[in-house]
């Protein structure tokens, strides 16, 4: 069977998904997410960009720079309000601005301390309400008749004492130099205008992200072109966990048993929620009437097929799902994915070729001992790729045995703050005006974080000086494996997914059934007894929830003479769904 041309692992520029829009809005509403994109993607050419599932990373990089520029303008204005008057000879005005900004910063600290010990509201039992009322009454009496000073009150008093210094200095400077008070007021007005403009521009960008038909720039920068190629590449360079004897490695005793360990090698695909542990292995035997025939008479001395033939058959079987009518269609994208360890790439650069041919892909699939691990990747998106389920199937033929292993990963929805622009009243002209005035309330926080302008300058310096891609040529002591996936970083935890979980698991089960049935049919066409395979496949299909999850927790077991079961040694990890390893 001829192998079809190798397809790119991600057709990121073909469709603008809801996940792309939300991730583009993320840098404007979450500063930590914006810094993550700039530090780990835009200015890290020595690391491979993680594969993109259901989104395009190029517009996210672009809007991260724009969001950083807006914040940098405001913080440069705050610093300039103190530095520029001093350089222009208006030192009293500079002192007035410094005292004003210091008071705003102290006000923010006081509010943080005042609100720091507040507990979030939660649902409580009715039997606890009386105790809570008594507790509130005692707290009220303590505030009216305080018996002693608490840590918070002492901290607030200390901040109040510190605030007397800038307030007195500003007051004395204003009385001694009344002309410079007008200059300071003008500088303060410029800060207000800049703050209003930054808030309005930020909301205008969010409105554009919501309505734009395309978010990819027409012309890509050199770094964007390198990131685009890496997010589409069939090869994925994953980070192998440190050796237990290496310096800095974690020596914690694992209480869970998983096929891939605590850290998933499927970078970018999300959280592992499903796996066959251990993999399914089926001997390649001829179908005979007498099942008690000797092994040497039943087995094929030479495998009747190669692994890539089965992979091609499974690929074609899954692609048929896209030919159904729209009302019953299960959208499934089938691709080839080759995972290579970063430590293997450091020793053999040929494992990461610039171009992968059909012959190279067949060689990787047919070589079970190869350091490039091939997986047939089946991806199905939900709700505009806000949820992405990925089933990864590995096939190998070795020792006259067919070995199949499967893992499934899920990317859940992004935070609500990334999606809020689409809500009622969160876009349009009124939203722009509201965002402009809301930005004024962030001035105390911007004063506290104004020192981060140094980080922006460092990022700009790295973007200008460093080449767009440092992963194509080896560098001493530098590993190029992907470290961070911005989509995984912003995804909801699988344990907190609710109603969508049923739909996701149902899609995974559908894909799994089709792959198993297609594999069984393929074995029959190759004169292989598929009875054992079908029996084990039936157990996997009927295993239900016991075949889902990423933890095998062994508890409440007793081993040995006179052993007794005590209390649970390890509490439930939250999944409640151990692996079945192909058996119920």
pLDDT for residue 496: 94
* CB 312 within 8 Å of CB 3: yes
**3-state SS track over 347-400:** HCHHHCCCCCCHHHHHHHHHCCCCCEEEEEEEEEEECCCCEEEEEEEEEEEECC
pLDDT at res. 569? 43
In this model, does residue 7 exceed pLDDT 50?
A: no
Identify the pLDDT of residue 252.
Answer: 52
Give tens-digit pLDDT for 492-531. Answer: 999 999 999 999 999 999 999 999 999 999 999 999 998 8
pLDDT band at 540 (very low <50, low <70, confident <90, very high): confident
- Position 363 scores a pLDDT of 94
Structure tokens at 349: 């650069």
Residue ranges of domains in the chain: 256-415+487-547
Q: How confident is the model at residue 138 (pLDDT cuts 50, 70, 90)?
A: low
Taking only the tens place, the pLDDT of each residue in 544-570 is 543 444 444 444 444 455 555 554 444
Query: Would residue 406 be called left, alpha or beta, if left means φ above 0 and alpha means ψ between -120 and 50 degrees?
Result: beta
- The mean per-residue pLDDT over the stretch 112-125 comes to 56
Nearest to 534 by CA among 550, 516, 552: 516
pLDDT tens-digit map of 140-171:
545 554 554 577 788 888 888 998 999 999 99
Q: At residue 51, does pLDDT exceed 80?
A: yes
Mean pLDDT of 118-145: 53
What CA–CA distance (Å, rounded) separates 552 from 398? 28
- In this predicted model, what pLDDT tens digit does every residue of 266-308 receive, in sequence order? 999 999 998 887 889 999 998 877 667 788 778 888 999 999 9
Which stretch of 112-121, 405-414, 475-484, 521-530 has the lowest confidence by average pLDDT? Answer: 112-121
Neighbours of 86 (CB within 10 A): 15
Mean pLDDT, residues 204-214 taken together: 95
**pLDDT for 55 beyond 70:** yes
Share of the chain above pLDDT 90, in %: 63
> Quick one: pLDDT at residue 562?
53
CA distance 339 to 234: 9
Structure tokens at 384: 């505009």
pLDDT tens, position by position, 225-258: 999 999 999 999 999 887 776 765 555 544 444 5
Q: Which of 183-187, 317-321, 367-371 comes out lowest in average pLDDT?
A: 367-371
- Mean pLDDT lowest among 112-126, 417-431, 456-470, 489-503: 112-126
Res. 577 pLDDT band, cuts 50 70 90: very low
Q: 309 in helix, strand or coil?
A: helix
pLDDT the model gives residue 500: 93
Position with higher pLDDT, 8 vs 482: 482
Residue 576 has pLDDT above 90, yes or no: no
Using alpha carbons, list the distances in angstroms from residue 146 to 119, 142, 143, 254, 495.
Answer: 21, 5, 5, 50, 44
Q: Which of 260, 220, 222, 232 is nearest to 49 (CA)?
A: 232
> Quick one: average pLDDT of 208-223?
94
**With 50 as the cut, is the pLDDT of residue 209 above it?**
yes
Confidence (pLDDT) at 549: 40
Residue 433 has pLDDT above 90, yes or no: yes
**Segment 9-27 mean pLDDT:** 79
Answer yes or no: are the C-beta atoms of 270 and 409 closer than 8 Å: yes
| Cα→Cα distances 308→30, 350, 351, 366, 521, Å | 45, 21, 19, 6, 16
pLDDT at 5: 45
Q: In the predicted model, what is the mean pLDDT of residues 91-119?
A: 84
Mean pLDDT of 332-339: 95
Task: Answer whether residue 475 shows pLDDT above 70.
Answer: yes
Task: Compute CA distances 342 → 45, 472, 482, whole Å.
Answer: 15, 13, 9
Q: pTM for the complete prediction?
A: 0.84
63-90 confidence digits (pLDDT tens): 999 999 999 999 999 999 999 999 998 9
Q: What per-residue confidence (pLDDT) applies to 251? A: 52
CA 168 to chain centre: 49
């Amino acid at each position: 069977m001829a192998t079809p041309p190798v397809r790119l692992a991600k057709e990121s520029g073909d469709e603008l998904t809801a996940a792309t829009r939300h991730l583009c809005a993320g840098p404007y509403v979450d500063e930590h997410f914006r810094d993550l994109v700039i530090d780990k993607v835009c200015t890290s050419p020595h690391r491979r960009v993680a594969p993109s599932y259901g989104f395009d990373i190029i517009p996210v990089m672009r809007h991260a720079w724009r969001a950083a520029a807006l914040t940098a303008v405001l913080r440069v204005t705050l610093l300039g309000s103190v530095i520029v008057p001093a350089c222009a000879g208006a030192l009293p005005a500079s002192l007035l601005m410094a005292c004003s900004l210091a008071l705003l910063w102290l006000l923010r600290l006081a509010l943080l301390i005042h609100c720091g010990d507040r507990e979030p509201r939660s649902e409580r039992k009715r039997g606890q309400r009386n105790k809570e009322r008594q507790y509130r009454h005692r707290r009220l009496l303590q505030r009216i008749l305080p018996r002693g000073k608490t840590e918070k009150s002492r901290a607030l008093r200390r901040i109040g004492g510190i605030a007397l210094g800038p307030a007195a200095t500003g007051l004395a400077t204003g009385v001694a130099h009344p002309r410079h008070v007008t200059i300071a007021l003008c500088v303060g007005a410029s800060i207000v205008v800049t703050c209003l403009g930054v808030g309005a521009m930020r909301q205008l960008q969010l409105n554009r992200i919501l309505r734009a038909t395309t978010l990819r720039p027409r012309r890509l920068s050199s770094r964007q072109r390198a990131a685009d190629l890496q997010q589409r590449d069939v090869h994925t360079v994953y980070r192998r966990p440190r050796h237990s004897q290496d310096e800095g490695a974690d020596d914690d005793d694992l209480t869970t048993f998983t096929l891939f360990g605590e850290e998933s090698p499927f970078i970018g695909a999300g959280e592992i929620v499903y796996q066959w542990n251990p993999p399914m292995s089926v001997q390649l035997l001829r179908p005979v009437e007498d099942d008690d025939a000797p092994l040497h008479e039943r087995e094929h001395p030479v495998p009747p097929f190669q692994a890539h033939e089965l992979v091609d058959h499974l690929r074609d079987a899954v692609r048929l799902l896209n030919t159904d009518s729209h009302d019953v269609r299960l959208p499934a994208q089938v691709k080839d994915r080759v995972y290579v360890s970063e430590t293997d790439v450091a020793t053999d650069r040929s494992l990461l070729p610039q171009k992968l041919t059909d012959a190279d892909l067949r060689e990787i699939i047919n070589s079970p001992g190869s350091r490039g691990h091939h997986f047939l990747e089946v991806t199905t998106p939900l709700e505009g790729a806000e949820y992405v389920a990925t089933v990864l199937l590995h096939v190998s033929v070795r020792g006259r045995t067919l070995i199949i292993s499967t893992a499934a990963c899920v990317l859940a929805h992004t935070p609500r703050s990334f999606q809020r622009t689409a809500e009622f009243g969160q876009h349009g002209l009124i939203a722009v005006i509201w965002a402009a005035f809301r930005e004024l309330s962030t001035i105390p926080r911007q004063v506290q974080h104004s020192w981060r302008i140094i980080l922006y300058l460092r990022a700009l310096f790295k973007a200008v000086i460093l080449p767009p891609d440092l992963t194509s040529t080896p560098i001493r002591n530098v590993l190029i494996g992907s470290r961070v996936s911005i989509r995984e970083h912003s995804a909801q935890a699988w344990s907190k997914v609710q109603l969508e979980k049923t739909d996701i698991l149902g899609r995974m089960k559908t894909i799994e059934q089709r792959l198993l049935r297609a594999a069984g049919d393929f074995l029959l066409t190759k004169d292989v007894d598929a009875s054992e395979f079908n029996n084990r496949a039936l157990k996997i299909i009927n295993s239900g929830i016991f075949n889902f999850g990423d933890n095998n927790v062994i508890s409440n077991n007793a081993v040995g003479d006179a052993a007794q079961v005590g209390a649970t040694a390890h509490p439930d990890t939250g999944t409640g769904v151990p692996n079945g390893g192909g058996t119920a």
